[in-house]
Amino acid sequence: MVNVRSQTFKVYGIALAVILLLSFAFLAVFLTRSVNDEPGQGEASTEQDVQESMEEENYIGVYNDKIAIFRGIRPDGVLLEITDFDVKEVYREDLEQGIPFEDEEEKMRILESYTS
């Protein structure tokens, strides 16, 4: 009888150990996902995006219903050049916010897409 009792305890002990190990594994996975999905990380990238948009840059915008080139912080930069292209109403909102560009080639591609 003692032998049956010790076997029963042994089986229950093993089952309890397996349940505890699985519980810890589940908690580890769950907590890892929670930490990676916290809103604070999204806010950090949003703050970085805001900071980047606050840096001076070249951008295409609107001046007196013409497409123009600016330098500065969108949309209040310094006017550099006024093109001969009228602003199409379909693109007005985008252009009023300013469309940044890095180099002359990118500027020409953007102008082409907003004037054709």
- End-to-end Cα separation, the chain, in angstroms: 92
Report the C-alpha gap between 109 and 2 in whole angstroms.
86
Give all strands of the β-sheet with 66-72 in edge-to-edge order: 78-86, 66-72, 57-63, 99-101
| DSSP H or E stretch at residue 25 | helix 2-36
Neighbour count for residue 76 (Cβ, 10 Å): 9
Residue 71 contacts residue 58 (beta carbons within 8 Å): yes
* Per-residue pLDDT tens digits for 34-86: 544 544 444 455 565 555 556 899 999 999 999 999 999 998 999 999 999 99
- The pTM for the full model equals 0.55
